[in-house]
Amino acid sequence: MDIRFAPHNAHLEDPALFSKRDPHLKELQKQMLVHRSSLLQKLPRHQPGIYTIGGGRQVGKTTLLKQWMSDLLKSGVAPESIAYITGELIDDHHSLVRLITDILDEMPITGLRYLLLDEITYIRHWDKGIKYLADAGILENTVMLITGSDLVIIQEARMRFPGRRGTADVVDFHLYPLSFFETVHLKKRLSPGELDQVLNPTPETAGNIVRELFKEFDMYLIHGGFLTAINDMAKHKYIRPHTLSTYSDRIRGDVLKRGKQEHYLREIFDAMVKRYGTQITWNALARDLSVDHPKTVADYAALLESMDAVVIQAAIIEDKLMAAPKKARKLMFSDPFIFHAVRAWLSPT
């Protein structure tokens, strides 16, 4: 194993201490509220193939991979058959092919091998490397799980790996921030029995439970479904500036990495916040900004949507129940926490 990835593969030294030594799981154990995504039960364990997990920044994709590694170890998978690598340390597809070939050569010959490749979009031409490995038969008997913060990753995989991804019914997964329902369960403010009473209310109990749910929803509109923000509120009663800036810095970095301009991004975010919940057109936005062309605004919005940061809510053709692409649409942040993180960047206090 390349020494650069050793901190993330502590299971190779002592699988029993993996949860205590791994940097992400160790940090997770310090939190007041620890979430296990239902996605953990859906990820493949017995069918080789190339699988993807898409999702926005800071939603917990890396932690999910580490929890899955821990589950594999507990289920009896040999530590030597599991490896985690991050794309942040790999330059291009040539380096990727060499690295994966070396890792798989070190794994046992018999049984399934599990290769977790995190944040693959950092690697230039990553798809060429994966395609070569698949065509060369190097990925036989291997469960390769790839993550990326750009939803285009899933579309690319579908187009460029036809017939090479295995036989599983589901090969693409999406990790979202926690829903309101998941957040209520995580906090355990209401018991399962009390939640059942919401669906089957009685005059004696329904009022108090509904009031508690509205209190929790008010909190959800602050921290959203981002676990770090949820734990900040639980521990400090507010979201730390570091938590807000970490998200906004990552989003800005990803946008700049794609050749976009930060001042345009700032203007578009500012326009979204000021017009939040109202219908807008690309032409109207472009007139109010220094952006030269409506298509530029549309391109930025599409990029943010592909990063799971923004939802472009199209108008509806009512008689056909189809999107009306030429009509005004709404630009919404995909989670309440993102709204607050962006606003904190626009107007720091």
CATH of the domain at 18: 3.40.50.300
**pLDDT of res. 287:** 86
**Bridge partners (DSSP) listed for residue 145:** 51, 116
**pLDDT of res. 243:** 96
Question: Is 135 found in the same domain as 219?
Answer: no
> What is the length of the chain?
349
What's the CA gap between 53 and 188, in Å, rounded?
Answer: 28
What's the CA gap between 117 and 348, in Å, rounded?
Answer: 36
Per-residue pLDDT tens digits for 155-210:
777 777 777 787 888 888 999 999 999 999 999 887 777 777 776 767 666 677 88
- The model's confidence at residue 212, banded by pLDDT at 50, 70 and 90, is confident
Structure tokens that stand for 114 in this block: 């599990």
Backbone φ, ψ for residue 277 (5° rounding):
85, -5
Is pLDDT above 70 for 311?
A: yes
Is pLDDT above 90 for 9?
A: yes
Structure tokens that stand for 160 in this block: 């460029």
Give one DSSP letter per residue of 87-129, joined into a string: GGG--BHHHHHHHHHHHHHHS-SSS-EEEEEE-GGGSBTHHHH
Give the chain's domain count: 3
What's the CA gap between 129 and 134, in Å, rounded?
Answer: 9
Question: Is 247 found in the same domain as 216?
Answer: no
Question: Is 148 found in the same domain as 76?
Answer: yes
Domain annotation covers residue 143: yes
Residue 185's domain comprises 180-223
**pLDDT of res. 205:** 66
**pLDDT of res. 132:** 93
Domain annotation covers residue 234: no
**pLDDT of res. 228:** 96
Per-residue pLDDT tens digits for 247-306:
999 999 999 988 999 999 999 999 999 999 899 999 988 888 898 889 999 999 999 999
Closest listed residue to residue 144, CA positions, set 65, 64, 38, 39: 65
Per-residue pLDDT tens digits for 132-162:
999 999 999 999 999 988 777 677 777 777 7
Q: Does residue 314 or residue 105 have the better pLDDT?
A: 105
- The amino acid at residue 40 is L
Q: Angle CA(125)–CA(139)–CA(175) in degrees, nearest 5?
A: 65
Question: Is 213 found in the same domain as 117?
Answer: no
Per-residue pLDDT tens digits for 81-95:
999 999 999 999 999
- The model's confidence at residue 10, banded by pLDDT at 50, 70 and 90, is very high
C-beta of residue 96 within 8 angstroms of C-beta of residue 65: no
Domain annotation covers residue 144: yes
Instruction: Please name the helix (run of DSSP H) or strand (run of DSSP E) that holds residue 324, with its range, or none.
Output: strand 322-324
Question: Is 190 found in the same domain as 285?
Answer: no
Question: Is 152 found in the same domain as 92?
Answer: yes
Structure tokens that stand for 333 in this block: 């942040």
Question: Is 119 found in the same domain as 26?
Answer: yes
Q: Mean pLDDT in the chain?
A: 91
- The model's confidence at residue 121, banded by pLDDT at 50, 70 and 90, is confident
Is pLDDT above 90 for 317?
A: no
Domain annotation covers residue 231: no
CA distances (Å), origin 78, targets 15, 70, 75, 114, 116: 9, 11, 9, 10, 15
CB atoms within 10 A of CB 214: 10
Question: Is 142 found in the same domain as 16?
Answer: yes
H-type alpha helices, the chain = 18-21, 23-29, 61-74, 93-106, 126-135, 152-160, 180-187, 192-199, 206-223, 227-236, 241-257, 262-274, 282-288, 294-306, 336-346
Tokens 């690309």 sit at which residue?
282
